[in-house]
Structure 1
């Protein structure tokens, strides 16, 4: 089998009303998605998505004419291309989709088949008042979730802590709450400094009193010593990070130095599926968690799900969900059916061969950017 072509569909969904993501400097008025299709001479096409794939055209000849099943070769080639261009892990997802289709198995089976479904947590994206967040938490629980993640703005810490307190008081001790401080990386153009270590230590101490399940990305990635100090000072609170850490070797150093409780590398944005699997296995051997970030679109959600379920990640799987601003329908506008959780708040691994992606070609044609 040979790769005959790699094509990109660039889509843009207009968001009206806009989505006010906590990490965006300005409200998001459109949602972009790039679909990668790897075509083969045997008629099998692999589908991936996640990052924008900007600049990939120059690197297409590295893959066309090669056997799509030579995955280790392709992972290494993608890493060399990433060094000189953008982030091309959606291509690896498309290649795994082909591998699963060739073998007639879901990719999760090829990654270990540790779980057929995973408990999902509702990952909220917007900043809301304590009253609004408590109301949305009730709707989240009614939708089947048993956990949710709340964002806190570094410039509105009191309001953020109050929102966590309101959810805890509304839903009680049996509902798990994660908190994301969004301090490890920045969107392009956001040059504001992170909160200093002293402020972060105070914030975590306040959140610990509310029995949060984990605190996510409290410091910049480079502050390894700061992460270690936070863990040492707060033995009852898990520290999570790594979603956009692009260096597999640096993440391995995190594991060697026992920096985190929860490792969150996104397989279509950070280190790819093959590398994430290796790092996840090491995390498990060290009795630490792997729970990948999944804030792209439904195809990216599925790629992360297959790796997470394959290796037995958890204890929860991230499910981007914060209606009305962020819904499965908006997130998965290119799919025939949005990825969903079942009545028990679990996300099930598709049983179709490959990643289980089912595109809505009419939606692809409608939202394609010429």
Structure 2
């Protein structure tokens, strides 16, 4: 491509501007996410655009990027291909401000466009599609969840994740049992207790280790694939004890703040399944490093993806690059959480194929096609 020739002529590409746009979609009816203190009546998305002097623009999204404008000067004028430098700069800013990983997403989108390759290829190119699991977000009665699971099976999904409120665990376990009875072993089932962190304003305490152990032992009899976030995220000893004593795979790490925190969890052998979300927890480059380290220890990496369509694409490219698995999270819980709501900023929502897989876009970068009204 033309830019490749200019690089060989030692002409440096430069970042000329970083633009941030905030979008919001009203939700009617509301979405009653299991981890939210109150039902959502709107869904926001922040888009990050990185412009260059060659006319190429990278696009990212994920977290809110609140307060980033004061730090943009650390990147403007820099070569966008210096990714290690940019990751370290983001980490230094994050220590004082917030999670600005959507900027890294936009930079990788830009790097892929410069190289003429999908970002997944730059991350290793292990696979070009991944099986997904339907990640259900609402708490539903056992019969309702069983009917939902049957519908998911008909749509081609191979797995689903069910949320349980550990303070009414018997109802949640009954929902898992109803699903297992309805689908047999046609679908893998994961369970999420959402105990590792709290949404703003939620002061509910996490359950303790004995309570988590009782839930895990009951779920083990239902042959779940993993139990997600059964304890506080910094309870390394409790998590390691739970996975050893119950024989149930334990998953978590989606909102880990730093790469060092992720390494500490790995050293403690706290999880079987590491789930760093690349737009929320330590970014794409660091998540790739964590994935390789986890795999070297015979542990699994498969990222959390609950943001929006662009965040899903960023996680998909990293996961496909390193060969993550066995599934990728696909937020989907109709009728209140659909691809149209999740991906409202995209020209077309991301959908699974007939085999229950999410294909990796083959276009350079992340393959983001924004809706015309967003552009």
80-89 or 312-321: bigger deviation: 80-89
Q: Which residue of 335, 338, 352 maps to 2:363?
A: 352
1:246 positional shift:
1.1
Residue 7 of structure 2: aligned partner? none
Aligned length: 363
Displacement of 1:340? 0.9
Q: 2:38 aligns with which of 15, 26, 44?
A: 26
What does residue 186 of structure 1 align with? Answer: 198
2:272 to 261, 265, 276: 261
Look up the SS of the partner of 2:319 in the other structure. helix
2:237–2:268 contact (8 Å) kept in structure 1: no
**CA offset digits 1:44-95 (Å, max 9, x no partner):** 0000000000111101111111111110000001011111111100000000
- Structure 1 CA distance, aligned partners of 2:233 and 2:167? 20
Deviation at 1:301, TM superposition (A): 0.1
Show the counterpart of 1:121: 133
Instruction: Render the CA deviation track for 1:197-240: whole Å, top value 9, x for unaligned.
Output: 111110111111100000000000111111111111122x2110
Structure 1, gaps ≥5 residues long:
366-370
- Is 1:47 aligned with 2:75? no
Large movers: runs of 4+ above 4 Å: none
Question: Is 2:281 the partner of 1:281?
Answer: no
Q: Quick check: 1:164 aligned with 2:176? A: yes
Matching residue of 2:79: 67
The alpha-carbon deviation at position 250 of structure 1 amounts to 1.8
Secondary structure of 2:173 counterpart? helix
Alpha-carbon distance, 1:174 to partner: 3.1
Q: The residue matched to 1:299 in structure 2 has which SS? A: helix
- Measured in 2, the distance between the counterparts of 1:257 and 1:270 equals 18
**Aligned equivalents of 1:194, 1:238: Cα separation in 2:** 19
Among candidates 142, 146, 163, match of residue 134 of structure 1: 146
| Cα offset, 1:255, TM superposition | 1.5
- 1:201-220 matches, within 5 Å, as 201-220=213-232
Counting only pairs closer than 5 Å after superposition, residues 215-364 of structure 1 correspond to structure 2 as 215-235=227-247, 237-362=248-373, 364=374
- Unaligned 5+ runs, structure 2: 1-12
Looking at structure 2, the residues matched to 232 and 222 of structure 1 have their Cα atoms a distance apart, in angstroms, of 17
Deviation, 1:256, is: 2.1
- The residue that corresponds to 1:143 in the other structure is 155
- Could you say what secondary structure the match of 2:162 adopts? strand
The answer for the alignment partner of 1:37 in structure 2 is 49
Matches of 1:286 and 1:158, distance apart in 2: 35
More divergent stretch after superposition (254-263 vs 140-149) = 254-263
Partner secondary structure for residue 156 of structure 1: helix
Cα displacement string for residues 100-119 of structure 1 (whole angstroms, at most 9, x for unaligned residues):
00010000000000011111
Residue aligning to 1:12: 24
